[in-house]
Amino acid sequence: PHIHDVVIVGGGSAGISTASSLLKRRGLDIAIVEPSTDHYYQPGWTMVGGGVFDVAVTRRDMAGVIPKGVTWVQQAATSFQPEYNQVTLADGTTLAYRQLVVCPGIRLAWEKIAGLSETLGKNGVTSNYRYELAPYTWDLVRNLKSGRAIFSQPPMPIKCAGAPQKAMYLSCDQWLDEGVLGDIEVEFRNAGAVLFGVEAYVPALMDYVERYDIQLKLGSNLIAVDGPARKATFATAGGELTREFDMLHVVPPQVAPDFVAQSPLAAENGFVDVDQFTLRHNRYENVWGLGDAGSMPNAKTAAAARKQAPIVAVNLLAVLDGKEPVSDYDGYGSCPLTVERGKIVLAEFGYGGKLLPSFPTWLIDGTKPARLSWLLKSEALPWIYWNGMLKGHEWLVKPAPRA
């Protein structure tokens, strides 16, 4: 059978960037396994829910983002046989590889919240976590003039941990503008114990919680929704609590894709078991993992994948040449917190919550709301994503040598 130099499972932010990064460095026979005809710029969905972007700008045809010369295998991968250097596909056929890169993202587990799937997109229940639903968030926000709006956040891990509260701040900003915020009771119900995982950003966020008069409820985990009755049930330390709502923005619990979790590649938590620095699999030397599907403890963001892709590329090529990995990932991830239309708190940090700002403080102090950060998010980053990251241009993200 034909053996590809590299098989990449998943053509999302991480998979396309890795293919491009590899091809920038060397001519290789690469196959991308990806069932979807659409490629999404998910960071744009927060802006769609806030009425800033049209949803159409967050989607492109997959065919248009797969780099030239790469074989697109338009199927889902269903299992891995790493001992045989083989991936099995939905139609039962297999692909053989020299090196394997696994990046099929994280699975949104909507079904874990009872009653949710039936009511998503109606009865005031929405989520920026899905392309078709983000525009409904903006519909609800524009039409709500009074009542109770609840924003939920599930237990970690989730992709873009700031997104649940970003949706809330942009909604509140709109209601403040319209002069109706005083008639809307806003609750942030977060399963976690803190507003944001990196302390340096919390004071700036708390200022907005106060400005918008948001009821901050930590340790409150959404477990059931009754759409027609407009009731949401939360598990809390004090037992179950049912709240009525007029609008409910849900962020679903998130888990490793099942076919990864059930495979020999999985770590205990179900994600691809890789070394957090080299991104090489901990047991299979020709397997790599990155993006949301990786077991590393970084913030799962497209910004992280932007840093990881070139690191996987240089390490994989070194191993193809019979050498050891040459570059270490520092855990960089970024979460631009849209605290109001026109201002962002630009969280950028690595392993252990170490702040890793891309800009000098005099230009952008990430711990403070800033207009320049908003321009970065609304103008620069989408362009950088489509024309830089997905094309293998590595401005700002040169792979660092091993520590």
Question: What residues make contact with ligand FAD under the rule CB under 6 A?
Answer: 9-15, 33-36, 42-43, 45-46, 76-77, 103-105, 128-129, 159-160, 163, 257, 259, 291-293, 300-303, 305, 334, 336
Longest dimension (CA), the chain: 67
Contacts of residue 379, Cβ cutoff 8 Å, sequence gap at least 6 = none
Report the residue number, 110 or 231, with the smaller CB distance to ligand FAD.
110
Contact present, 60 and 386 (Cβ < 8 Å): yes
Ranked by CB distance to ligand FAD, the top (closest) residue is 12
> For residues 380 and 180, what is the distance between their CA atoms, to the nearest angstrom?
32
Q: Least distance in Å: CB of 274 to ligand FAD?
A: 13
| CA angle (237 as vertex; 152, 188 as ends), nearest 5 | 20
Count CB neighbours of 371 within 10 A: 11
Instruction: Determine which one of 7, 160, 209, 222 is catalytic.
Output: 160
Report the residue number, 153 or 230, with the smaller CB distance to ligand FAD.
153
Residue 350 tokens read as 């690595």
Report the residue number, 10 or 124, with the smaller CB distance to ligand FAD.
10
Is position 160 annotated as part of the catalytic site? Answer: yes
Instruction: Determine which one of 335, 344, 346, 397 is catalytic.
Output: 335
Residue 170: HSE in the Cβ half-sphere, 13 Å Cα cutoff: 32
Report the residue number, 226 or 338, with the smaller CB distance to ligand FAD.
338
Q: Least distance in Å: CB of 167 to ligand FAD?
A: 8
Place of tokens 């699975």: 107
Q: Least distance in Å: CB of 309 to ligand FAD?
A: 9
Is position 172 annotated as part of the catalytic site? Answer: no
Distances in whole angstroms, Cα of residue 277 to Cα of each of 100, 238, 343: 17, 40, 33
Q: Least distance in Å: CB of 239 to ligand FAD?
A: 30
Question: Per DSSP, what are the bridge partners of residue 60?
Answer: 39
> For residues 168 and 289, what is the distance between their CA atoms, to the nearest angstrom?
32
Q: Least distance in Å: CB of 32 to ligand FAD?
A: 8
Helices of type H across 243-380: 258-261, 302-320, 371-375
Q: Least distance in Å: CB of 117 to ligand FAD?
A: 17
CB < 8 Å & 24+ apart, contacts of 229-233: 230/123, 230/124, 232/150, 232/152
Place of tokens 């891309």: 358
Report the residue number, 124 or 289, with the smaller CB distance to ligand FAD.
289
Report the residue number, 62 or 172, with the smaller CB distance to ligand FAD.
62
Q: Least distance in Å: CB of 74 to ligand FAD?
A: 10
Give the amino acid at 274: V
> For residues 97 and 30, what is the distance between their CA atoms, to the nearest angstrom?
9
Report the residue number, 44 or 230, with the smaller CB distance to ligand FAD.
44
> For residues 389 and 110, what is the distance between their CA atoms, to the nearest angstrom?
30
Residue 261 tokens read as 């979790």
Beta strands 59-61 and 38-40: pairing type?
antiparallel
- Catalytically active residues are 160, 335
